[in-house]
Amino acid sequence: MSNSKKSTAKIAIPVLVAGAVAALTVHASSANTQGHDDGPSVAAEPGKPAQSGAKPFMGDPADPATWRLPIEEYLPTKSAARLIATTRDSLIDTCMDKAGYPDWVPAPDLPEVGGTTLVDWRYGIHDAELAAKRGYHPRAGQQEAYDAALEAGAVDESGADDSVLQNCTQQADGTVPAAQPDGLAQQISGDAFKDSAKAPAVVDVFAKWSSCMADKGYSYKKPMDANDDPAFSDPRRVSDQEIATAEADITCRDKFSVAQTWFDAEAALQQKAIAANKTALDELKDDNKEAAAKAAAVAHS
């Protein structure tokens, strides 16, 4: 933006690799684990061969942030989502200027907090060094940036009428459609995450983890029970108890490969669901590619 009134620095949109940023929270049970619980399951029949071509990927076996689930092939990439969002902001901003609201600025994009990819923190914490400092909380700098973005975007002082903004948004839709975190792809992601916790291998590894934690003096049935303990819910307080619990949690997770077992089970479920919905998902992928291409054309015009 060239106008002097737009000197406020924008926080670069840190869209998760999954592409759709859900409402991020301060805990590991953030957008990375949220899916659609409403509506029928779209998972394929058990035992149906996966022929989708979408494959799971593990970069560094010790770092879930580098892993990639099959459904990510059908969701906007981080770079594409950022380009689309930035271009749309610019189009809407220009439209609002012409409509007589030069003081209107796009709300800052919410920075990442917790997981930085779809898989990072999807199955809980995994960074022993971070856990020793922050327990189940994200890095302090992430939380501060997130809080600052919320505060900066809370008040629009331009006095713009909602109908004017809606009209400008509709104009942007006609030039650069928003990246679509399609309901089908999101539901596959959510259903597979939920159902993977019932897979025999995952149930078994949860039991081993729970026993390991009990040996250390902690009573939790599942890894996310520790992660979501209300005692650790204050976004601005990390207690010694939380840190001790998180350190024990990671030790037990690593001992029994909890994250990898869970990832493998979910990836298999996603592949089956993708194979059963291949045509619709391919159309979604094409739509998102087209939106990114339109954004690139506008950005370079």
pLDDT tens for residues 235-244?
A: 889 999 999 9
149 sits in the region (left: phi over 0; alpha: psi -120 to 50; else beta) called alpha
State residue 19 phi and psi, 5-degree precision.
Answer: 100, -35
Distances (CA, A) of 117 to 5, 86, 124, 150, 238: 34, 20, 13, 21, 24
Query: Residue 169: which domain range?
Result: 4-299
pLDDT above 50: residue 35: no
Per-state percent for the chain, helix, strand, coil, to nearest 5: 55, 0, 45
Count how many residues are written for the chain: 301
Q: What secondary structure letter does DSSP report for 113?
A: -
Letter for the amino acid at 212? C
Q: Are 65 and 120 in contact (CB under 8 A)?
A: yes
Please give the average per-residue pLDDT across 119-146, as a whole number.
Answer: 93
State residue 214 phi and psi, 5-degree precision.
Answer: -65, -35
Q: How many domains does the chain have?
A: 1
Please give the average per-residue pLDDT across 128-149, as a whole number.
Answer: 90
Q: What is the pLDDT of residue 105?
A: 84
| pTM assigned to the model | 0.73
pLDDT above 60: residue 25: no
